[in-house]
Copies of this chain bind each other. A is one copy, B any other.
Amino acid sequence: MAFASLSRRGLLQKIGIGAGGAAILGAGVACGATSAAERQDALKQASRDARASAAAKAAPADHATHTNPPVVQAAPTQQGISADAMDKHHEDGIKAFPAKTQGLGGQPLPFTMDGDVKVFSLTCAKVRWEVRPDEFKDAYAYNGTLPGPEIRVTEGDKVRFVVKNDLQESTSIHWHGLKTPNGMDGVPYLTQPPIKPGTTFTYEFVATPAGSHMYHSHHNAMEQVGKGLLGPFIVEPKDKSKYPKFDKEYTMVLNDTLLGFTLNGKSFPATQPLTAKLGERVLVRYMNEGLMNHPMHLHGMPMQVVAKDGYVLSNPYMCDTLDVAPGDRYDVIIDADNPGAWAFHCHTLSHAESPDGMFGLVTALIVEDPSKPKA
């Protein structure tokens, strides 16, 4: 399952957790329906709840004197702004999450059948892309979105891609991880002529091997991929019995240059959260389309690494931080056994948090406990 565009309201309805995380998360309700006053009231209540909860759990009588002294003055920080002003920026980011922006990438790419061939169309064109609320950037897109639409087929499928270039420069597509005939590999002048502006090129091959792969430009690629010509290409195994079991899945495409630090084309708080019901097994497919390593860290639960570049590992291993290098794909499985809203981010902190709060490669995994009443 790809990310669907979740409204904040939809998210909150899914979350059945009371104190702390989701309650505070719920307080923001940035998507419109509640008033500023209501949001403020909800936030205050949530803060009171969280503090009360923490105090109840963690502050027995003999430690009470250490807890929450009354003096919370706006002391100047190193940066010359008050602690409260800095906190406000951080709070605003969390409250705004998931922030609504125009455009959502990675949605399923439809196809038509031509005999036994699945036929897909991809058009490259310039777009204005909203990376964060009110931050629009010049980008290049397949079919108008970043990442490009998700291609999903089954191992052994015959596939054809009709690629139209509406950019003002040439391009090509490399099917990163797929085993194609040489002429379909997408490297201009080595395996094909470039796809000139205004022209179309047709790729055709058998989709193999199974796994989490990618497609992206291989012409002026540092710029074209940096600007958005990239997308997930998932080949499901014909025999699923050899692939670990999971209940739902997400893909995380990482990028880091011309459009800033983006997770599926968006920067926090415009990233989409992942959700799971308590007890579900969640597959996450990491795909790095950037120029830097991104050690992805999930709070609250470890990840089991089950595949590299689509190849199932004979010896899966556990971790909570997984370094994903440019071009890498990793499949990990998360046992969603710890309820709450958990930070999920690149642990290169300069890709995730500034003095003004979290940004970039940050999202959350929200594990809903169905036994708890809705907030």
Min distance, Cβ A227 to any Cβ of chain B, angstroms = 9
Is A194 close to B, CB under 8 A?
A: yes
Is A10 close to B, CB under 8 A?
A: no
Is A40 close to B, CB under 8 A?
A: no
A121 to B170, CA, bound (A): 51
Name the segment of A101-109, A144-152, A178-186, A236-244 touching the other chain. A178-186
A292 to B323, CA, bound (A): 11
Chain A stretch 46-83: residues in CB contact (< 8 A) with chain B = 47, 50-51, 53-55, 57-60, 62-63, 66-69, 71-73, 75-78, 83
Min distance, Cβ A205 to any Cβ of chain B, angstroms = 9
Chain A, 181-203, contact with B by CB distance < 8 Å: what is the 0/1 string? 11111011111111011111111
Is A315 close to B, CB under 8 A?
A: yes
Min distance, Cβ A318 to any Cβ of chain B, angstroms = 4
Chief secondary structure at chain A's binding surface = mixed
A353 to B308, CA, bound (A): 25
Whether B225 and A182, one on each chain, are in contact in the complex, defined by CB atoms closer than 8 angstroms, is no
Is A280 close to B, CB under 8 A?
A: no
| Most chain B beta-carbon neighbours within 10 Å: one of A24, A191, A318, A353 | A191
Whether A114 and B343, one on each chain, are in contact in the complex, defined by CB atoms closer than 8 angstroms, is no
Known: A291-B348, A293-B323. 14 other contacts (CB 8 A): A24-B190, A54-B192, A55-B202, A69-B198, A71-B199, A72-B196, A72-B198, A83-B170, A84-B196, A94-B189, A187-B299, A190-B341, A220-B355, A311-B319
Whether A323 and B320, one on each chain, are in contact in the complex, defined by CB atoms closer than 8 angstroms, is no
Whether B24 and A189, one on each chain, are in contact in the complex, defined by CB atoms closer than 8 angstroms, is yes
Is A266 close to B, CB under 8 A?
A: no
Is A38 close to B, CB under 8 A?
A: no
Whether A68 and B200, one on each chain, are in contact in the complex, defined by CB atoms closer than 8 angstroms, is yes
- Residue in contact with A326 in the complex, picked from B20, B219, B295, B301, CB distance below 8 Å: B295
- Residue contacts A-B, CB under 8 angstroms, 23 given: A21-B190, A24-B193, A50-B183, A51-B193, A57-B181, A60-B114, A71-B198, A87-B188, A91-B188, A93-B189, A94-B189, A179-B300, A191-B341, A221-B352, A222-B349, A223-B355, A226-B349, A293-B293, A295-B325, A295-B328, A309-B318, A311-B318, A323-B323
